[in-house]
């Protein structure tokens, strides 16, 4: 039976009973995090935002710890972000390459997990194409596991970095109107952001063509739109999702051109939101499809590169906090 | 003319005359190592087993040294193990990716070796699909070379980690009965283990279907079996080999199902061995083919994840010992 | 309008107006460097040549800095060289893998650049298949960018390491006769070497079959040959270029065999040059095509592995010098 907080389950995924997402097992999802825990991570990340602006960016907090980035799905930017985060904290970081993985030789995911564990990893960041795969691994290893994106389930560090980005610009989440537009159905980014932002008190609107909206979306604490113009009214933040290439083949949307017409963010459309509304996108962008170039490059209002910057800081905070217990420090309040 | 100790030569490989495997040229094979040299490496590894159980796992023994992992064959776990070993000793570790290698551009192996040498590597770990390739490189470079598996020749660090695993559980090798079952013909793991374990005084039995048994196996100091049940009688250790996918196509075995029936390790079959017999497998496993899941996961008796753990320690010991001369220290007694 | 110094432009590339190649934007090309700036970099590299011959090769000059190697084209040796250079200087080095890059997902190059920038890279080394791509990125990021080879434009660190190699052997560039032979048309190595060597006072001769010679080569300060024997007369240095596989298909040369006959460097042909003429090749070599094995392996006279060694030192010098400003030090005189 799924937990209350993970109501927007994809068919393949249900939370195992009683598995606390955090801190015992690392950070598998935003679901399970209390608002003060989210805010604690944002607060912790703030120091790294500052540090990263200097030439000397290294701290030796995690000196001698081994962090493994096991990415079963390709993702250059998220992998780079985790790798940089670990190295800046002084850890020994190793990447497990997907294409050469034993998984290709028929090894089970559990055996891969047991192998990483036996090498005495102190933290493992995992990206996997299947919802629930990260929890499966987290249940089998002794060290904290960070979900770097699993199937259509969660991408918690993305939601945290988005929250940090918003907090820097808007200060408070309470009553903030955030419109998330795009392929809500398949998006773990949407899912984690909905959980995070509603938990922090924001008013979240989701907008998608009917075929890309989850059937059970009503069970989440969001307002549902199919008309982007209506979804934008009074919005303080507009968060666009990437349209995956494989959805552009006619099964889900008629054509990229029509998608852009109905759900792309143009300057004209952005004008329907609040006059100082912020623009976000998790990247990589399809310029000219879900977002126009002149919107993506809007000075002051587009926070897309800020999101990338916050990403490194959030991952540093997560790696630091989650390994505190192993380092003999208190985890968190 | 092959050396006496490398009698189980594959057709393509013969040891060059007078090439001492170790310590002048690094660790190309178990062949050429005296029993006390093997024991010395196991003793050295023991300290790293302990260290790796702490959060702070880094020592600066190899600080400033450059270690190159040149893997011409894919192998996630062995590469990870070498990379982690080098980093925990404080070295600068770089991996040379296979898929992007100049070798793909038609460069000769010798030229690749000369290039790595000219970059002033202090140690090179090499995996290559051809038997003898590692010796070829070792002969051309100034630094110690560690064989991370070459063709059907040797995989010495695997044999050392297996020996360390056995020693932890059984204390003495003398008279220990070890049954190695699987594709003996193509297995460098089997070959290195036979050399290592017989050198240490164990009684080694090899078991394979006739098509997967080397023709000249009689020249090695082993007992040869085709009946797995007979090979298991009184065995103290059962070491299963991975059945390579490419052998499952009917040329060597009738079918995976029949292979499992005759040579797979089930609980029932394991009962034919000593009552406390240990189970080992170099990984990655084909669960349900060469080994059943309930055997692989046997508490206390399955040492499969321990093998992985010992692997990091053994590679740390090899990297430390082999670079001592370069660091102005005495190599070994 | 192209700058005067980049007269050998490929059709796709022109220098943007007013973009100083160095030091504000890093090292995009040899074009734009004054002779004393080139010599300064060679002088700086010399210390690293010495350091790299010791076991302890690490300096902490770049401790805490993040260096990203973004290679959009495969190149094992150049990537290894940059990675080793950065690590020996104590930096945190991360490689952005091509095959898994967001670029594959349709992201623009500029967006990739903005992403790397937002992660607060302190230097970026870039290899790209398109001429001008590196300048494009350099214009968008806040940190110095080093061109690790872009299309048919430039490969400045190759030219610098070649100059360092020549200087070690010959002391002075003035009046030195250097013959560069091979596919001049498509070679960024040739282009950067021509700019570098002529700038330092050498007499440069280029030799290629007519189809592999740029139409506007006359505008560069070189002597043009189609007859290799004539080009070799009195030459002090013979620099052979790699014949790319894709040129061997009959479009540019009749056959590899004929190419070797006319433009391959054999011992007999080398005898037409000065008696102590030096042999160079940027690697990887096609032995038996552009260069015979007995020439490539000539003791004392073949500097091919020395070039590799100088490569690490040159990249260390570039990374050091280019990040001085960020580290609060004076850049260079």
- pLDDT, tens only, B291-333: 999 999 999 999 999 999 999 999 999 999 999 989 998 755 4
CA–CA separation, A297 vs A275, rounded Å?
A: 16
Q: Is residue B3 assigned to a domain? A: no
Q: Tell me whether residue C4 is in a domain.
A: no
As a whole number of angstroms, the distance between CA A98 and CA A128 comes to: 10
Element at A181 (helix H, strand E) = strand A177-181
Distance CA C78, CA B81 (A): 25
Q: What is the pLDDT of residues B196-231, one digit of tens each?
A: 999 999 999 999 999 999 999 989 999 999 999 999
Record the tokens describing residue B150, joined without a space.
Answer: 């070459």
Q: Which residues partner with C280 through β-bridges?
A: C239
The per-residue pLDDT for range A284-293, each reduced to its tens digit, is 999 999 999 9
pLDDT at C320: 96
Tell how strand A278-280 and strand C92-96 pair up.
unpaired
Q: Are residues A169 and A296 in the same domain?
A: yes
Instruction: Inspect the interface and report whether the beta carbons of C106 and A283 lie closer than 8 Å.
Output: no
User: Which of A98-107, A246-255, A285-294, B275-284 has the least mean pLDDT?
Assistant: A98-107
Q: What average pLDDT does the segment B66-89 reach?
A: 95
Q: Is C65 on the interface with A (CB under 8 A)?
A: yes
Q: Crossing angle, helix C188-199 and helix C156-170, to 10 degrees?
A: 50
Q: What single-letter DSSP state applies at residue A96?
A: E
For residue B96, give the nearest of C54, C58, C80 by CB distance.
Answer: C80
- Is B140 in the same domain as B176? no
Same domain for C146 and C181, yes or no, is no
In this structure, are strands B145-150 and B26-27 parallel, antiparallel, or unpaired?
Answer: parallel
Does residue C29 belong to any structural domain of this protein?
A: yes
Burial class (CB in 10 A: 0-12, 13-18, 19+), A30: buried
Strand blocks (E) in B36-134: 66-71, 92-96, 123-128
> Taking CB atoms and an 8 Å cutoff, what residues of chain A touch C105?
245, 284
Q: Are A152 and A13 in contact (CB under 8 A)?
A: yes
The reported pLDDT for the residue numbered C254 is 83
Chains that touch C (3 or more CB pairs under 8 A): A, B
Residue A307 has pLDDT above 80, yes or no: yes
Residue entry with tokens 């097992």: A25
Based on the fold, state whether residues A143 and A186 are members of the same structural domain: no
CA–CA separation, A148 vs A92, rounded Å? Answer: 18
Closest residue in A to B81 (Cα) is: A119
Residue B245: what pLDDT? 76
Calculate mean pLDDT across residues B261-285.
97
Confirm whether B6 is domain-assigned: no
Count the domains in chain B: 2
Q: What is the structure's pLDDT at B64?
A: 97
**Interface with chain C: mutation pick from A244, A284, A310, A313, highest number of C CBs within 10 Å:** A284
Q: What pLDDT, on the 0 to 100 scale, is given for residue A16?
A: 37
pLDDT at C331: 59
pLDDT of residue C18: 37
* Cβ–Cβ < 8 Å for A188, A155: yes
Tokens at residue B228, please?
């797995």
With CA atoms as reference, report the closest residue to B114 among C290, C240, C309. C309
B155-173 mean pLDDT: 97
Alpha carbons C83 and A159: distance in angstroms, whole number: 32
Q: Which residues pair with A180 in a beta bridge?
A: A206, A239
The CATH number linked to C67 is 3.40.50.1370
Residue range C299-309: mean pLDDT, rounded:
97
CA distances from B106 to A88, B70, C129, C289, C306 (A): 38, 16, 20, 11, 21
* Segment C215-259, tens digit of pLDDT: 999 899 999 999 999 999 999 999 999 998 777 777 788 888 999
Q: Are residues C70 and C170 in the same domain?
A: no
Q: What tokens appear for C287 in the block? A: 């032995």
Q: Residue B29: pLDDT above 90?
A: yes
Instruction: Report residue C66 CA to chain centroid gap.
Output: 23
Same domain, C234 and C315: no
Residues in CB range of C150: below 8 A, 6 or more apart: C126, C127, C128, C129, C130, C131, C132, C133, C134, C135, C188
pLDDT score at B153: 96
Rg (CA), chain C: 19
- Once rounded to an integer, what is the mean pLDDT over residues A263-292? 97
pLDDT-based confidence at A27, cuts 50/70/90? very high
Q: Do B66 and C88 touch (CB under 8 A)?
A: yes
Q: Is A169 inside a domain boundary?
A: yes
Q: What φ, ψ does residue A187 adopt, rounded to 5°?
A: -100, 115
pLDDT at A2 over 50: no
Check whether B76 is labelled as a binding-site residue.
no
Q: Do residues B219 and B212 make contact, with C-beta atoms less than 8 angstroms apart?
A: no
Residue A97 to residue A129: CA distance in whole angstroms: 15
Q: What is the rounded radius of gyration, in angstroms, for the C-alpha atoms of chain A?
A: 19
Q: Note whether residue A5 is domain-resident.
A: no
B185 pLDDT exceeds 60? Answer: yes
Question: Which neighbouring-strand residues pair with B323?
Answer: none
How sure is the predictor about C104, in pLDDT bands with cuts at 50, 70 and 90? low
User: How many residues in total does chain B contain?
Assistant: 333
Residues A162 and A297 in one domain: yes
The band of B73, judged by pLDDT with boundaries at 50, 70 and 90, is: confident
Nearest CA to B145 out of B165, B162, B164, B128 is that of: B128
Q: What is the pLDDT of residues A103-115, one digit of tens each?
A: 556 688 999 999 9
Helix, strand or coil, per DSSP, at residue A111: helix
What confidence category does residue A300 fall into, taking pLDDT thresholds of 50, 70 and 90? very high
What pLDDT shows up at residue C245?
A: 77
Give yes or no for residue A7 having a pLDDT over 80.
no
Strands C123-128 and C145-150 turn out to be: parallel
Name the CA radius of gyration of chain B, rounded: 19
The owner of tokens 């070459």 is B150
Tell me if chain C has a CB within 8 Å of the CB of A299.
no
Residue whose entry in the numeric block shows the structure tokens 């060694």: C309
- Phi/psi for A127 (5° steps) reads -115, 135
Q: Which residues of B touch A92 (CB under 8 A)?
A: 57-58, 84, 87-88
Task: Please name the residue that has the structure tokens 């039995």.
Answer: B205
A5, pLDDT greater than 50: no
Same domain, B103 and B215: no
Q: Which residues on adjacent β-strands are paired with residue A206? A: A180, A224
Give CA–CA dist B68/B83, Å, rounded.
9
Lowest mean pLDDT among A148-162, A258-272, B233-247: B233-247
Strand partners, B302: B279
Does residue B258 have a pLDDT over 60? yes
Backbone angles phi, psi at B117, to 5 degrees: -65, -40
Give the whole-angstrom CA distance, residue C92 versus residue C68. Answer: 9
Distance CA B194, CA B220 (A): 8
Report the share of chain B in percent with pLDDT over 70: 89
In the prediction, which pLDDT does C25 show? 62
For residue C165, pLDDT beyond 50: yes
- Which residue range forms the structural domain that includes residue A271? 156-303
Instruction: With respect to residue A333, please indicate whether it lies within any of the assigned structural domains.
Output: no
Cis peptide before A27 (omega within 30 of 0): no
Mean pLDDT for A245-263 is 84
Positive or negative CA dihedral for B249, B252, B254, B256? negative
Angle at CA C13, nearest 5°, toward C9 and C18?
95
Q: In this predicted complex, what is the ipTM? A: 0.91
Same domain for B122 and B182?
no
Three-class secondary structure of residue C249 per DSSP: coil
Cα–Cα distance, B273 to B277 (Å, whole number): 6
**Residue B298, exposed/middle/buried by CB under 10 A (0-12, 13-18, 19+)?**
middle
A158's CB contacts (< 8 A; 6+ apart) are A78, A149, A188, A189, A192, A193, A282, A311
pLDDT of residue C298: 98
Q: In what order do the strands lie in the sheet with A177-181?
A: A222-225, A203-207, A177-181, A237-240, A278-280
Query: What average pLDDT score do residues C90-105 get?
Result: 74
User: Are both A295 and A165 inside the same structural domain?
Assistant: yes
Out of C64, C102, C106, the one facing A58 most closely (by C-beta) is C64
Q: Choosing among C71, C91, C92, which should be mutated to test the A contact, i.e. which has the most A CBs within 10 A? A: C92
Closest approach of chain C CAs to the CA of B118, in angstroms? Answer: 5
Q: Is residue C17 part of a domain?
A: no
Q: Which residues of chain A are within 8 Å of residue C112 when distances are taken between CB atoms?
A: 284
Torsion C168-C169-C174-C179 (CA) sign: negative
B128 strand-pairing partners: B150
* Torsion-angle region of B60 (φ positive above 0: left; ψ -120 to 50: alpha; else: beta): alpha
User: What is the rounded average pLDDT of the residues B168-197?
Assistant: 96
- Smallest CA–CA separation between C157 and chain A, in Å? 24
Confidence of residue A98 (pLDDT cuts 50, 70, 90): low
| C-beta atoms of C309 and B102 within 8 A | no
C-alpha to C-alpha distance for A32 and C111, rounded to whole angstroms = 34
CA atoms within 13 A on the CB side of B13: 23
Whether residue C295 sits in one domain with residue C160: yes
Same domain, C295 and C252: yes
Closest-CA distance, C156 to chain A, in angstroms, reads 25
- Other residues' Cβ atoms within 10 Å of the Cβ of residue A229: 13
Comparison of pLDDT for B246 and C299, the residue scoring more: C299
CA dihedral B91, B97, B102, B108 (to 10 degrees): 70
């Amino acid at each position: 039976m799924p937990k209350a907080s993970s109501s927007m389950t994809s068919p393949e995924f249900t939370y195992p009973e009683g598995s606390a997402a955090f801190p015992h097992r690392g950070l598998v999802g935003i679901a399970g995090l209390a608002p003060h825990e989210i805010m604690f991570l944002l607060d912790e990340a703030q120091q790294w935002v500052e540090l990263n602006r200097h030439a000397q960016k290294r701290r030796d907090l995690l000196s001698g710890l081994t962090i493994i980035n096991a990415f079963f799905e390709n993702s250059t930017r998220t992998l780079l972000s985790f790798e940089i985060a670990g190295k800046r904290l002084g850890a020994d970081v190793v990447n497990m390459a997907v294409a050469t993985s034993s998984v290709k030789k028929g090894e089970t995911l559990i055996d891969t997990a047991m192998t990483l564990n036996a090498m005495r990893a102190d933290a493992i960041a995992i990206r996997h194409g299947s919802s629930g795969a990260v929890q499966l691994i987290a249940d089998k290893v002794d060290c904290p596991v960070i979900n770097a994106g699993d199937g259509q389930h969660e991408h918690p560090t993305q939601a945290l970095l988005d929250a940090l980005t918003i907090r820097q610009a808007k200060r408070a989440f309470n009553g903030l109107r955030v419109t998330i537009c795009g392929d809500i159905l398949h998006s773990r980014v949407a899912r984690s952001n909905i959980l995070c932002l509603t938990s922090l008190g924001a008013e979240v609107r989701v907008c998608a063509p009917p075929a890309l909206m989850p059937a059970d979306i009503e069970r989440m604490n969001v307002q549902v739109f199919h008309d982007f113009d209506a979804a934008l009214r009074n919005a303080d933040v507009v968060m666009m999702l990437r349209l995956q290439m494989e959805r552009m083949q006619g099964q889900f949307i008629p054509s990229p051109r029509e998608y852009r017409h109905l759900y792309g963010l143009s300057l004209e459309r952005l004008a329907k939101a609040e006059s100082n509304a912020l623009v976000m996108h998790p990247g990589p962008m399809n310029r000219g499809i879900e977002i126009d170039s002149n919107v993506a490059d809007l000075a002051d209002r587009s926070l897309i590169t800020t999101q990338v910057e916050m990403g490194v800081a959030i991952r540093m905070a997560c790696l630091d906090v989650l390994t505190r217990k192993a380092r003999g420090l208190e985890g968190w309040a």
